[in-house]
Amino acid sequence: MFSSHVTYSSKLTLYAKVMEDLFEKRDFGMYIRFINDTNTAMESWIKMYVSDYCFEIVESGKNRLEKQANEILEDSIEALIKCVKKNSLSTKDISFQVWLQNFYNCAQGIVPFSETVFDLFDMKEVEVTDFIQFEKKVIKNLEEVQKSHERIFRTGNLESLNSLVEKPHISLAKNILGCTKRCPLCYVTCIKTSDHPGEHSAPYHYPLGVAGYHDEKTKELMMETCNVLCAGELSFRNYDTYHKWYKYKDYRSVDEYYKSWNIAPNTSLEASLYWQWVFCQFYKEFAEYHMAKCNKIPLKWKNIVEEDVKNSIKIKFNDSS
């Protein structure tokens, strides 16, 4: 489902899938959570996608994670048991500490053991006097470890992913999401990589009404994008400006964070077909949420065909799948 080779377009592809999911669910609360905290929302979607992939039944009633984990566990446990038997004290006149060191050396290529090896065996601070019984105890506990982990992976739920040392959904989120800085005006997320040089940018911006911007006289939510407004003479104020008025085209003068964003002024870059549709679907909810009004939706927005919205997602995010 996800490639280990993360490319610039993989973030766009993920966005497309999230947009499709939101489109299908048509839940205003989910849209608000996505707009207000895109990073957390995207991490949740990644976890869901990874979970669906890992727990898909692939063979003999086993899910993909269970099948692969069991194969690795079986080989590892078998190799560790061989290490135990290889270092048997029953026929060697050596101390327990020497036996333990030999076991470490043998097991290092199998699992990354540390000095807490007794935690695994449940033998912490035990005085070993009967080495044959000790070896049996170690082997029994290794077999129990295998059974325990098999049960965890068999459950097929999100907690199984959290039990892994390297959690795939977290690793993927770090690689795929890239830069998570948001436009200081409409809240759209920067599309670049996490360590990108230069300014933040996005290929499109939301209509400012989704972030609550409205005409202070009429209270009407604004339909224009940041690009359109930065090409004009209108002004804004918010918490960041300490409610002092700034022209949109002078947004960089607010502070260093605003200055770090490159919002290209362009009167033709209106809201995408997708967000026009979202606005039409939830204009009452947006107005209520932002304690504003939304009575002047353009007629062409109201006439958008849903099939065109779905197609626009693939075009907008360059998703050829």
| pLDDT confidence of residue 255 | 96
| pLDDT confidence of residue 124 | 45
| pLDDT confidence of residue 115 | 47
Sketch the domain layout of the chain as residue ranges: 8-55+176-316, 62-156
pLDDT mean over 16-32? 92
Per-residue pLDDT band at 204 (split at 50, 70, 90): confident
| pLDDT confidence of residue 3 | 40
Distance CA 7, CA 131 (A): 54
Each residue's pLDDT tens digit, 69-93: 777 777 777 777 777 777 665 545 6
| pLDDT confidence of residue 127 | 56
Whole-angstrom CA distances from 298 to 23, 218, 267 are: 20, 16, 16
Mean pLDDT of the chain: 80
Q: Which two tokens stand for residue 191?
A: 């599309």
Each residue's pLDDT tens digit, 214-228: 999 999 999 999 999
Distance CA 242, CA 150 (A): 57
Cβ(319)–Cβ(313) under 8 Å?
A: yes
| pLDDT confidence of residue 205 | 93
Long-range contacts of 242-247 (CB under 8 A, 24+ apart): none
Cβ(187)–Cβ(38) under 8 Å?
A: yes
pLDDT at 249 exceeding the cut of 80: yes
Residue 300 CB-half CA count within 13 A: 8
Residue with token string 């607010």: 254
Q: Supply the DSSP symbol for 250.
A: G
| pLDDT confidence of residue 156 | 60
Cβ(145)–Cβ(151) under 8 Å?
A: no
Each residue's pLDDT tens digit, 47-73: 888 777 777 767 777 777 777 677 777
Q: What is the pTM of this model?
A: 0.70
| pLDDT confidence of residue 1 | 38
